[in-house]
Structure 1
Amino acid sequence: MVMTEATTRPRSAPRAERRDGPAGGRIIALLLLGHFMAILDVNIVNVALPTLRTDLRASGSGLQLVVAGYVIAFAVLLITGARLGRLHGHRRVFHLGLAVFTLASLACGLAPTTWSLVAFRFLQGAGAALMSPQVMSILQQTFTGAARGRALGLYSAVTSGGVVVGQIAGGLLVSADLFGAGWRTVFLVNVPLGVLLLAAGPRVLPRDEGRRDGGLDLPGLLVLTPAVLLLTVPLILGHELGWPVWGWVSLAAAGALLPVFVAVERGVAARGGRPLISGRVLRSPGLPLALAVLVCGPGSWGSFLFTTTLHLQGDLEMTPLQSGLAFVPCVAAFGLVGLTWQRIPAGWHRWTVAAGFLLAAAGYAFVGPLAGGGVPYELLTAVIGLGLGVLPIVMTAALRHVPADAAADASGLMLTVMQLGQVVGVATIGTLFLTLARDGGSTRHAEYATGWALAGAALAGAAFAVVLARRTR
């Protein structure tokens, strides 16, 4: 948070301080554990699908919605969750989202039918959408300087690592079959953690009362929600359903709603209201370019995880647990960069992002040549993790010029863009991989084209990063 005068600080925001001691550590640990659970549940259910299908006699479409329902609700409601935090206080909304997420996890673990599980997964995603935006907002408002950079580095490591750990944890829990619960443990594991965080939160998190200026922007919400829904549903379900006509109609409708949303938001601002996505936030120096980089980074990472997992469990015949462990060096390298980048000379910071994406592009280019398994995949994933570890720098640069009272809006927007980037990446590059694997009968064959597509996405991120560096001198 960049402030030049004490009087410019919003009354409702907690005072930003350098919290390097135990209090700051407890705040970070509590917030990131909550965020970790939200990210974990994107993928933790994947390896449980075979036993879930048998136990609940689930159809293929039912299984797709068990996985996709959470992601859809999460992506659709993130910006709304961020605004609710601003209006009613980030700590209060974090606890509300955590309570909804925990209760929904319990309901998922006890679900008697496929469709009740689908409904509870949507509710679980809604809870995560309330909880996660508050994490970045509280970090932004509570920490400053180097302390904020380290907090955002940990946040980025948790965001990327939670997806991988979800697959590993899912494999461990299903294999262990604790108390004969089978697939249900992948949801029930959240319950004791959620209760613990709910008990500790009131004593650990800083107080803030929220700001009621501008309201919730219901007109913007009523346009943005269906627009995101129309975009995400066909992208998530399209390939499995053979890209039906309704999917293309849905995507076209999402595009048509974009100018409508822009017009509605301008009208809200003209009437003195506070738009859901304000021009003030989007005009923050470097933010649009940072958002473009954030699409390319998570988009390539999500599709790399998706396609490589299928290859490792396909041609290389690894178990779900073994394939998940292959990504551990990637997460470790990502976290290492995120926590140490501030030691790089300050004059190099703005070029570090482009260099990182170029390194990731080089790693992606070797996806095809290494598909035979001659070189350990752990080495390849570590190189890619080192490259994409620069994402905390992007977030820091994006938030540097955002006014403190707009932190909630900016954090919700960035989370939504990152989530949609992963959905678009899996839908495009993932579809390319699945199509080639089906036609060629070998996932190794598909990895060559996939690797070049991933490298192209990383190179696009590097190009955006170069422009960002030149404009934020």
Structure 2
Amino acid sequence: MTQTTDLRGVVPERDVRNGPGRLTLGLLLLGQFMAILDVNIVNVALPTMRVDLHASGAALQLIVAGYTIAYAVLLITGARLGDIAGHRRMYLTGLAVFTVTSLACGLAPSTGPLIGFRFLQGIGAALMTPQVMSMIQRNFTGAARGRALGLYSAVIAGGVVVGQAAGGLLVSADLLGTGWRAVFLVNVPIGAALLATGPRLLPRDTGPRGGDLDIRGLLTLSPAVLLFVVPLILGHELGWPLWGWFSLAASAAFLAAFVVVERGAAARGGRPLISPRVLRAPRLLPACGAIMLAPGTWGSFLFTTTLHLQGDLRMSPLESGLAFVPSVTAFAVVGLNWQRLPARWHRRVIPVGFAIAAAGYLCIGPLAGGGVPYELLTAVIGFGLGVMSIIMTAGLEHVPAEDAADASGLLLSLMQISQVIGVATIGTLFLTAAESSGSTRHAEYGTGWALAAVALVGTVFTVLLARDRASAREA
């Protein structure tokens, strides 16, 4: 019989509150923060880019989407490369690529090079960020791992909001006449500092590693993700052209081929990109379902509400970004303190969090007139979604350390793709309603109902996750 533990687990091998653990975690999370920041920081700089670079609408879309596409497509591959070559090495390699291409983006003379450098920047992020969760899995245990994942969740949520606010602040400040270029150049000194300290602070890879990259899996999964993400990102702006629907159909075909290829690799005793053994880990699949929905609602809420705040409510980019700061604070309060609750409550509070978020989304429409501060609404939603760190802790609790790369790549890919899906679907609903009514306030009503419905569907997965089925299996 295998003894199970609650989510606080065992005595930590490396605690985040003292010694090298705190410095190590800080370095890892700062790299993760930069990668998430760059998904959103560019948005508020687009009007300035359009004027300075004489950029077309399609070029601006590719400047934003190029990073996201490369990032989403290569996350799972980046995780596996970390497992093969070493997570420390791949983190530093990805960080170096990200830092150099950030400098190149900031110095780009025209839209063509800028689009190319944004793709390369996304590749650097895809190599770097999967190693963060993998190294947390391998170097933190028990309560320390829970705290580390709580900080990790807060960094992901905070990077999205800070990106909005920091982008507006940097562009408005026009430091040394850099204008929009500052949103890229800000990464350079931070990346250089991390590269200088990383070799001393990051734990060396231990245990067996090596093997071959699943090329067949890569050649089927990458097109599947690419053909799925591109039409979702560009579809609304281009009027949902026919090629987009063909692309989505082709994505489904490649995904089916990927499943066949992976099953064949596992049957031959190989190492597929996504191991079936990982998918069989207790509670991982319900966690994947919840993670597919929670970031999707958050990303689309941020997108639509930012448009409303800068639309009918006439806020500046900086003001609209600051309106989301309370949500990150509330998110962090839950993520960093849930372990103080009795152990039997840990997984049970996850459905409660989704229900709170759903209630907050239902209030979007009635509060769209601005009578009640939006900061209060964002705080309620952030408080509900703060259970994300519990979801990740529960989902990863029974994943062996040797499978950490597979699990981290899978979860990160789902989080990134879910935000693309959320913005594409609910964002399209919002934009269509705003265009037909001429009012972003009117569009917020339908958006609120849609987000609440998705959050309620997510409670189904969270209820499954809350059930302690692992104990029954292991007993």
Equivalences for residues 217-236 of structure 1 within 5 A: 217-236=214-233
Query: Among residues 447, 451, 454, which one is paired with 1:450 in the alignment?
Result: 447
Q: Which residue identity does 1:324 align to in structure 2?
A: G
Q: CA deviation at 1:19?
A: 5.1
CA distance in 2, matches of 1:101, 1:265: 30
Q: Note closer, same or farther for the CA distance 1:169–1:46 as it changes in structure 2 (3 Å cut).
A: same
Flag structure 2 segments of 5+ consecutive residues without an equivalent.
Answer: 5-11
Partner SS, residue 119 of structure 1: helix
Q: Note closer, same or farther for the CA distance 1:19–1:303 as it changes in structure 2 (3 Å cut).
A: closer
Q: TM-score, normalised by structure 2?
A: 0.95
Q: Which residue identity does 2:48 align to in structure 1?
A: T
Partner SS, residue 315 of structure 2: coil
- Match in the other structure for 2:293: 296
CA distance in 1, matches of 2:154, 2:328: 7
Flag structure 1 segments of 5+ consecutive residues without an equivalent.
Answer: 5-14
CA distance in 1, matches of 2:28, 2:451: 32
List structure 1 segments (4+ residues) > 3 angstroms apart after TM superposition.
15-20, 209-214
Q: Does the 8 A contact of 2:232 with 2:424 survive in 1?
A: yes
- Match in the other structure for 2:410: 413
- Match in the other structure for 1:267: 264
- Match in the other structure for 2:341: 344
Equivalences for residues 17-416 of structure 1 within 5 A: 17-18=14-15, 20-208=17-205, 211-416=208-413
Q: CA deviation at 1:213?
A: 4.5
Aligned residues: 462
Q: CA RMSD in A?
A: 1.4
Q: Which residue identity does 1:465 align to in structure 2?
A: T
Q: CA deviation at 1:124?
A: 0.3
Q: Note closer, same or farther for the CA distance 1:218–1:460 as it changes in structure 2 (3 Å cut).
A: same
Partner SS, residue 350 of structure 1: coil
* CA deviation vs aligned residue, 1:218-255 (integer Å, no higher than 9, x gap): 00000000000000000000000000000000001111
Q: Which residue identity does 2:182 align to in structure 1?
A: T
* CA deviation vs aligned residue, 1:261-283 (integer Å, no higher than 9, x gap): 11101111122210001100001
CA distance in 2, matches of 1:209, 1:275: 22
CA distance in 2, matches of 1:379, 1:461: 23
CA distance in 2, matches of 1:121, 1:177: 21
* CA deviation vs aligned residue, 1:307-343 (integer Å, no higher than 9, x gap): 0000000000000000000000000000010000001
Q: Does the 8 A contact of 2:399 with 2:407 survive in 1?
A: yes
CA distance in 2, matches of 1:35, 1:177: 26
Q: Does the 8 A contact of 2:364 with 2:445 survive in 1?
A: yes
User: Larger deviation: 454-463 or 222-231?
Assistant: 454-463
Partner SS, residue 308 of structure 1: helix
Q: CA deviation at 1:214?
A: 3.8
Q: Does the 8 A contact of 2:224 with 2:254 survive in 1?
A: yes
Q: TM-score, normalised by structure 1?
A: 0.96
Q: CA deviation at 1:22?
A: 2.8
Q: CA deviation at 1:209?
A: 5.3
Q: CA deviation at 1:447?
A: 0.3
Aligned identity (percent) is 71
